């Protein structure tokens, strides 16, 4: 290793960092205090560390592997407490558990670390990172996978805002107003993608049959993916709907914030084309898309995780997630092996009862240390 830690990290110190990070609220855009606590953890242990211009916590060292997770959370005030060995609080799972585990492993093994900002909104931290630093030899991105799970694939994301306007008129008239037009537009979009999903389901059923045969023959990797059929489909979701009479009283306006998840084999351009065929008078402003990613289970990173999880006492699970993460951006910018890993049940992401098992957190730290040591020795 090019740089070793000046001071080790005990299980108690790692848990203390985790609890402190969860105690400090850090919704997207308000990460500074939490970032400073994270930076102090590295500085107190003799590591070079700083906050960059967008607010990322940068602690460079041995670039044989970059451990990186996000500091920000979605909004939500959950009382922070430890009950029956579980830490309750917003961000305990997504993703301060993975973040703290990676910080502890990075200090213990002397590998590079970055805590990024803005993952829950515009991924500004990850976007800045890929433009501002050289490619590492490998990347481990921090998101909840369960301590014995490794995520290799995510769908991409395309977001946009649909807008439509009609002249104001008495509500007794039968002509549809902008609100009705927006509702009709969204229904037509859902119908277009549900028809495509029916075709995908038929193909997935055939693939599942082939996978079952491969498992019987001993030629398939274990795959505990989230909803495998969904992983291969475009999912259309409205995330905000608003409308009403304009301030000048002369028109009715309506907008829909929409997100479309991009599976492997689909493109943002293809999704845009499908959506725009349904516009019929409205218009849509598209955001910059994030492409899907699917890493091979035979990479050095994936192999290191399988070995480490077994040595800590687990049975490794390979995952594909239906959401999107910063790993999508890293894979699009850097040509190196990578995976996503972290303690916690992803079904508890963003929910009112978000909580993390502390024993699982300890095991995840141990796994990350073994993975980092293995990759640093290559």
Could you list the active site residues? 72, 119
From the list 346, 300, 288, the residue with the least C-alpha distance to 121 is 288
Q: What's the token pair of residue 225?
A: 């993916």
- DSSP assignment string, 196-224: HHHHHHHHHHHHHHHHHHHHHTT-S--B-
> Where would I find the H helices in the chain?
11-23, 32-43, 96-109, 124-132, 178-216, 228-231, 268-276, 300-311, 326-333, 358-376
Report the alpha-carbon distance of residue 347 to residue 156 in Å, rounded.
19
Distance CA 206, CA 93 (A): 35
DSSP string, 20-75: HHHHS--BTT--HHHHHHHHHHHHTTT---EE-TTS-EEE--EEEEEEEEE--B-S
Q: Is 15 helix (H, G, I), strand (E, B) or coil?
A: helix
Contacts of 306 (CB under 8 A, 6+ apart): 150, 316
């Amino acid at each position: 290793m090019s740089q070793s830690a000046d001071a080790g990290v005990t299980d108690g110190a790692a848990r203390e960092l985790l609890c402190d990070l969860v105690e400090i609220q850090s919704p997207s855009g308000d990460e500074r205090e939490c970032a400073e606590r994270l930076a102090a953890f590295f500085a107190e242990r003799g590591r070079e560390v700083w906050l960059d211009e967008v607010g990322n916590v940068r602690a460079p060292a041995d670039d044989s592997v970059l451990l990186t997770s996000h500091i920000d959370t979605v909004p939500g005030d959950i009382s922070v407490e430890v009950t029956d060995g579980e830490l309750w609080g917003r961000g305990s799972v997504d993703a301060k558990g993975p973040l703290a585990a990676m910080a502890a492993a990075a200090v213990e093994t002397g590998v590079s670390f970055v805590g990024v900002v803005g993952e829950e909104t515009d991924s500004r931290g990850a976007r800045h990172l890929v433009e501002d630093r050289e490619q590492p030899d490998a990347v481990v991105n921090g998101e909840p996978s369960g301590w014995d799970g490794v995520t290799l694939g995510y769908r991409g994301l395309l977001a946009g805002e649909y807008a439509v306007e009609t002249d104001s008129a008495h509500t007794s008239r039968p002509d549809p107003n902008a609100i009705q037009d927006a509702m009709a537009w969204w229904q037509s979009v859902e119908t277009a993608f549900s028809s495509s999903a029916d075709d995908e389901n038929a193909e997935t059923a055939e693939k599942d049959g082939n996978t079952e045969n491969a498992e019987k023959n001993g030629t398939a990797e274990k795959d505990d993916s989230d909803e495998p059929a969904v992983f291969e489909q475009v999912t259309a979701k409205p995330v905000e709907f608003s409308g009403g009479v304009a301030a000048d009283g002369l028109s009715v306006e309506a907008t829909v914030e929409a997100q479309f998840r991009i599976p492997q084999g689909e493109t943002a351009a293809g999704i845009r084309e499908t959506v725009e065929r349904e516009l019929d008078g409205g218009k849509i402003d598209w955001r910059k898309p994030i492409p899907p990613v699917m890493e091979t289970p035979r990479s050095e990173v994936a192999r290191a995780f399988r070995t480490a999880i077994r040595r800590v006492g687990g049975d490794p699970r390979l995952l594909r997630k239906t959401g999107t993460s910063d790993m999508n951006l890293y894979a699009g910018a850097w040509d190196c092996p990578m995976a996503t890993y972290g303690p916690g049940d992803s079904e508890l992401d963003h929910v009112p009862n978000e909580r993390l098992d502390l024993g699982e957190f300890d095991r995840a730290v141990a796994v990350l240390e073994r993975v980092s040591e293995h990759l640093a020795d290559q």
